[in-house]
Amino acid sequence: METIRTRFAPSPTGHLHIGGARTALFNWLFARHHGGSFILRIENTDIQRSTEEYTRSILEAMEWLGLDWDEGPYFQTDRMEIYREYAEKLYKSGWAYYCECTPEEVEQMRKEAQAAGLKPRYNGRCRDKGLTPGPGRVLRFRSPQTGTTILNDLIKGPIEFDNSEFDDLVLIRSDGMPTYNFTVVVDDITMKISHVIRGDDHVNNTPKQILIYQALGEPLPRFAHVPMILGPDKKRLSKRHGATSVIAYRDMGYLPEAMVNYIARLGWSHGDQEIFSIQELIGKFSLENVSASASVFDTEKLRWLNGYYIRQKSPDELLPLLKPFLNKLNYPQKPDEYIKKAIATLQPRCATLEEMAEAMKFYMTDNFEYDGKGVKKFFTDQLRPLWRIIINEINSMSHFDEEKLEAFFRSLAEEKGIKLRNLAQPVRIALTGKTASPGLFEVMDILGKEEVVRRLERAYCLFDQQG
């Protein structure tokens, strides 16, 4: 039975974006579904652009998503001896040769080919010179000039490439650094990767890599190229469509469960099911159900899913997740039990933790502005004499709870012949600053009698503003 080994191999030249996260997730799910291994490899041979900060950010995003790895992280910069060993194999077997052409000369060759209506490429000047290693020389792959290479893709099906189209690609640069198409093959061979699942922007790299596998006499892994993710305008997802990094969504108050569920559904499906637990995803995931068509990233769908997961959690679970967002807004400290009660009233109304923290303002502080239109509409001369009755009655209550408060307000509205809404709305504005909030009597119960009375007293001045 085949041992399944997948890998995710990001370059630390930026934060982990949505497309990369989906690639990581599909590899992780495939490995977990088959009881295999998931390997994390950091492809950091681009010394100029790779940073420690981005490496940390990628690892942090992976951990936040819950995508644990069985091996790694391996760093390509620690594997230079291995690349040199495999480069030597190709050189000694005649599959690679040294080239002394300067970058300027190669560029001229490309321009001449293009001017002749051909594909811009290196013209093979040093192919048969028999050069040995030396300063300024690169090691090139001796690509076959005839025949075809077939990629049997698990998602896209068979794709045929004409070998005459391929350049003699550089394996080792003049500074001794190996190139992407070479290192990825060596890494996947030595790490015994069985399935390479990656974005379809790599399709054109794959036949070049297949030729290197064949030159080394190594068996091919199975390839599966996942279609790209598009923005709402059907163009490739980018910063112009909003946040693209996983960390940015975490910092906006999205939950990892929602993000994993959402990106799993970007190009993969299981019937009409929309909501999946992580165990369900592991159990149901297969490459057969990955679409060959591009997917559209829909922020509203992600918000809806995040709201669902927020509602599924208990206030106890949400409290530690919400606290960093509360601290960011510099609210006064409140007891945990108080905050948990407030959370329960806001769960049905908020799609993200950031929204919940902002909506929590009236629970945490009375430093808010009153809704001007609401004040004008509800703080009427008819209500003014009743305001003192409301304050006095609430102040005298020995049992202050939702049921007692609702009974009092209904009774007062009936006695005075006015709609309950015309009593409740100005009180809501006095307590929260808004005309919309969780249930009024629920809010009053959480704020407590003393705070409710204090806020009602403070709001009395709003009648004078109507003068």
Rg of the chain on CA atoms, in Å: 32
CATH of residue 356: 1.10.8.70
Specify the number of domains making up the chain.
4
Burial of 320 (0-12, 13-18, 19+ CB in 10 A): exposed
Q: Is residue 166 part of a domain?
A: yes
| Euclidean distance between CA atoms 156 and 292, whole angstroms | 6
- 219 and 85 fall within a common domain: yes
- The DSSP secondary-structure symbol of 268 reads B
Domain finish residue from 175, 200, 226: 226
Pull the structure tokens for residue 168. Answer: 């003699």
| Euclidean distance between CA atoms 357 and 326, whole angstroms | 5
- 249 and 342 fall within a common domain: no
Output the CA angle 400-403-408, nearest 5 degrees. 80
- 92 and 182 fall within a common domain: yes
pTM of the model: 0.93
Domain finish residue from 267, 292, 312: 312
Asked if the bond preceding 73 is cis, omega within 30° of 0, the reply is: yes
Q: Is residue 65 part of a domain?
A: yes
Consult the annotation and say whether 126 binds a ligand.
Answer: yes
Pull the structure tokens for residue 206. Answer: 């794959």
Consult the annotation and say whether 404 binds a ligand.
Answer: no
Q: Is residue 352 part of a domain?
A: yes
Looking at residue 231, its pLDDT comes to 85
Q: Is residue 427 part of a domain?
A: yes
- 254 and 346 fall within a common domain: no
- 1 and 88 fall within a common domain: no
| Euclidean distance between CA atoms 160 and 31, whole angstroms | 28
Per-residue pLDDT tens for 60-113?
Answer: 999 999 999 999 999 999 999 999 999 999 999 999 999 999 999 999 999 999
Given a contact cutoff of 8 angstroms between Cβ atoms, the answer to whether 15 and 245 are in contact is yes
| Euclidean distance between CA atoms 158 and 42, whole angstroms | 29
Looking at residue 202, its pLDDT comes to 95
Closest CA to 295 of 234, 204, 244: 234
| Euclidean distance between CA atoms 33 and 278, whole angstroms | 11
CATH of residue 456: 1.10.10.350
Pull the structure tokens for residue 216. Answer: 């080394």
- 97 and 182 fall within a common domain: yes
Per-residue pLDDT tens for 293-345?
Answer: 999 999 999 999 999 999 999 999 999 999 999 999 999 999 999 999 999 99
Catalytic: 328?
Answer: no
- 111 and 125 fall within a common domain: yes
Consult the annotation and say whether 128 binds a ligand.
Answer: yes
| Residues of the domain holding 232 | 1-69+227-312
Looking at residue 1, its pLDDT comes to 67
Looking at residue 115, its pLDDT comes to 92
- 98 and 175 fall within a common domain: yes
Q: Is residue 306 part of a domain?
A: yes
b/e for 329-338, b at 16 or more Cβ within 10 A?
eebeeeeeee
Let me know how long the chain is: 467
- 222 and 247 fall within a common domain: no
Which parts of the chain have pLDDT scores under 50?
Answer: none
Q: Is residue 74 part of a domain?
A: no
Q: Is residue 92 part of a domain?
A: yes
Looking at residue 105, its pLDDT comes to 95
CATH of residue 248: 3.40.50.620
| Euclidean distance between CA atoms 234 and 216, whole angstroms | 40
- 29 and 40 fall within a common domain: yes
Q: Please tell me which residue in 119, 192, 239, 328 is annotated as part of the active site.
A: 239
Consult the annotation and say whether 461 binds a ligand.
Answer: no
Within 8 A by CB and 6+ apart from 202, the residues are 225
- 207 and 113 fall within a common domain: yes
Mapping DSSP to helix (H, G, I), strand (E, B) and coil, where does residue 139 land?
strand
b/e for 106-125, b at 16 or more Cβ within 10 A?
beebbeeeeeeeeeebbbbe
Q: Is residue 201 part of a domain?
A: yes
- 104 and 179 fall within a common domain: yes
- Rounded alpha-carbon distances, angstroms, from residue 235 to 230, 295, 301: 5, 10, 18
Given a contact cutoff of 8 angstroms between Cβ atoms, the answer to whether 294 and 230 are in contact is yes
Domain finish residue from 226, 244, 275: 226
